[in-house]
Every structure is written in C-alpha cells, then in structure tokens.
Amino acid sequence: MAFQPVKFYQTGTFTVGNRLLEPEQRSVQANMRRTNSLNSGHRACQGCGEALGARYAIDAAMEATNNQLVAANATGCLEVFSTPYPETSWQIPWIHSLFGNAAAVATGIAAALKVKGRRDVRVIAQGGDGGTTDIGFGCLSGMFERNDDVLYICYDNEAYMNTGVQRSSATPPAARTATTMPVGPEPGNVFGQGKNVPLIAMAHDIPYVATATVSELRDLEAKVRRAMEIRGARYIHIYVPCPLGWGHASHETIKIARLAKDTGLFPVFEAEHGEVIGVSKIRKPLPVEEYLRPQKRFAHLFGTPPRPDLVARIQAIADRNIRKFGLLAESA
C-alpha cells in the first residue's frame, strides 16, 4: 500500500490531524474517554443537526465539569428521539421538563444543589427554538434576570420539528413550513423582525452569550467550555440544520450550516456582560442563493415564476448582519 503522509494543515480538524495536537489542545470528541453523553440507539433522523450539536455540547460540558452535570430537557425532537420510554440514550443525569419550563426546572435544580452545598455539580437546560424563543421565553428571561447559575442551550432548527414542522419565532422569512405555505404574493413565512434570542439574552447583561453552528464543532466545544468556567446565567444558541424540516439532503447538514455562516445569515459571535467580544469572520462571503437553493423550504423562490425580489430581501438581511457584527475578514 502506498505511504500516505499526514498533512499538517489537518491539525485542529476532526480528521486524523486532531491527534497530532498536544492532548490538552485536542477536541473533546478526539478523547477516547469522552462521555458519549448522547449515545447510539437514539431515533433522530439521518443527518440530524440537533443530535450532532447536543452530543458535542454535552460531551464538552461533561469534560469541563469533571462529569458533574445535570441536564433539564424541554419537550421537542431532542427529548423525543432520545428517550422513548422506557429507553434512553443519555449517559448523564437527565430530566425531562415540560415544553415551556426547562429554564425554570434547571433553576430549581441549581437552587437545590446550592442548598445542599454542591457547588461542584453544574446545571444545563436545553431545548429547541420553539421551546426557547416561544413557549419557554418567559421562564428563560426570568432565569437571565435572576442570573441563575444555569447554562441554557438552544438548538435552533428554525421551526417546531417534533410536531411536524410548524413555524416558530425563529423561522426565517420566506421559509415554507406546515403553517406558512408557499402561496400568495409573499409565499412562506412573513418578512417580520423575528425574535433574536442571543441579542435579547445580551440585553439582560448576563455573563455569557454565544452563537455556534454544527459546522464549526471546535468552536462549539470551546464556547461550552468557556460557559462552564463562568457562574451565573449563560446562553448558547446553536444553529442545527434539520434535513426533514428544511428538505435538504441528510449528508448536507454540515454544508448548510457552513453556508448559513458564510452568507452572513447566521452570525457566529461571543458576548460577555452584554458586549460582543469576538466574531467568527467570513473569509469569502457567499451569496444567499447558495444557501437557499439546496433547501426545499425555499424551493418556491426558484420556481415558476422565480422570486429574485424575495431573494434580494434575504440578501439584504445577510448584508445587514455582516455590517452589524463586522463579519468580514480583512482579506475578504
């Protein structure tokens, strides 16, 4: 067999090069002793971004807390596909809350641990965008306002997937869902303001807010690790493509997530106490069309007749994000 040299530019990726790094620099997933917190046997669709994001996030949190972690989980795909009673794929202490109260349940667990003097055990709440930006929003805002010692993770697949792809306040303009059909002069979801929970979290001046995607998993791990170094309320918003709801090929989950970032539609940044402290720069900005075309939820924008006017409005949103967050790399 021909000798295959390992190229050094692979260091830091999730390929073999990861193992060329010093042990403390390697990703959590490269560690054979990772917890596999969300284990095989769950029933997520093939290519589910939420399953991938949760596995990386919770494994990173487990490592950061020396495996002293409790998670409260809102109703949604993540909960349903991982815990069909009496089975579970979770390898951590895990509790299912209601659809709308994961933040409040996590707050209660954190309070109980405080009473028991268990500062070593840390608490996470997690849920989908519906459970976070809509029904659970009041509990979440209360958790922020009280600065409860909880990390809340939102897995944003931009709709209520578990119940059949209904619109949420995180659904993007023009997207087709079961409740925003591609009919009429403005097909799909409305061009409204939406609800940007990372920015709303920052407005609470909580110690830490970050966004991340499943295309940059090292960055995701690093943000979870950073969040677990801090006490008080923390929020991480992870962009997780959903092949079933978005109508893209299951092998394109990572590519779609990368395109969301590289078009400017999903700004990846970090903030402490309400101030942005870092953004993931875009090296080569791409037109939003490259992101929209592979997804059937936007197929009506490229049908007969095509709707370049609506694509232009989506491009304007991306351009505004690029300006607002300073997303362009200097070389771009």
Ligand X SMILES: Cc1ncc(C[n+]2csc(CCOP(=O)(O)OP(=O)(O)O)c2C)c(N)n1
Q: Which residues here bind ligand X, judged by CB under 6 A?
A: 50, 75-78, 99-100, 127-131, 157, 160-163, 168
**Is 50 an interacting residue with respect to ligand SF4 (CB under 6 A)?**
yes
| 130 interface partner picked from ligand SF4, ligand X, none, CB below 5 to 8 A per type | ligand X
- Tell me the one-letter amino acid at 39: N
State which residue, 26 or 255, has the beta carbon closest to ligand SF4. 255
State which residue, 135 or 301, has the beta carbon closest to ligand X. 135
| 158 interface partner picked from ligand X, ligand SF4, none, CB below 5 to 8 A per type | none
How far apart, in whole angstroms, are the C-alpha atoms of residue 240 and residue 127?
12
Give the C-alpha distances (Å, rounded to integers) separating 180 from 293, 298, 305: 18, 11, 19
Residue list 148-167, contact with ligand SF4 (CB under 6 A): 157, 161
**Is 48 an interacting residue with respect to ligand SF4 (CB under 6 A)?**
yes
Q: Interacting stretch for ligand SF4, rule CB under 6 A, among 146-154, 236-244, 270-278, 316-324? A: 236-244
**Is 131 an interacting residue with respect to ligand SF4 (CB under 6 A)?**
no
Closest approach, Cβ 4 to ligand X, in A, equals 40
Query: In which residue are the tokens 């929003």 written?
Result: 137
Q: Are 82 and 55 in contact (CB under 8 A)?
A: no
Instruction: Collapse the DSSP code of 332 into the 3-class scheme (helix H, G, I; strand E, B; otherwise coil) and give the result.
Output: coil
Q: Are 49 and 157 in contact (CB under 8 A)?
A: yes
Contacts of residue 70, Cβ cutoff 8 Å, sequence gap at least 6: 92, 93, 94, 95, 109, 113, 121, 122, 123, 124
DSSP state letters, 96-127: E--SS-HHHHHHHHHHHHHHTT-TT-EEEEEE
**Helix runs in 65-207, H state only:** 77-82, 102-115, 129, 137-145, 197-203
Residue list 249-308, contact with ligand SF4 (CB under 6 A): none
Q: Are 256 and 239 in contact (CB under 8 A)?
A: no
Closest approach, Cβ 85 to ligand X, in A, equals 15
Closest approach, Cβ 219 to ligand X, in A, equals 21
| 188 interface partner picked from ligand X, ligand SF4, none, CB below 5 to 8 A per type | none
| 198 interface partner picked from ligand X, ligand SF4, none, CB below 5 to 8 A per type | none
State which residue, 246 or 325, has the beta carbon closest to ligand X. 246
How far apart, in whole angstroms, are the C-alpha atoms of residue 232 and residue 73?
19
Q: Which tokens sit at 189? A: 């979801």
Q: Interacting stretch for ligand SF4, rule CB under 6 A, among 119-127, 202-210, 243-251, 281-289? A: 243-251
| 75 interface partner picked from ligand X, ligand SF4, none, CB below 5 to 8 A per type | ligand X
**Is 245 an interacting residue with respect to ligand SF4 (CB under 6 A)?**
yes
Give the interface with ligand SF4 as residue ranges (CB under 6 A): 44-45, 48, 50, 77, 81, 157, 161, 242-245
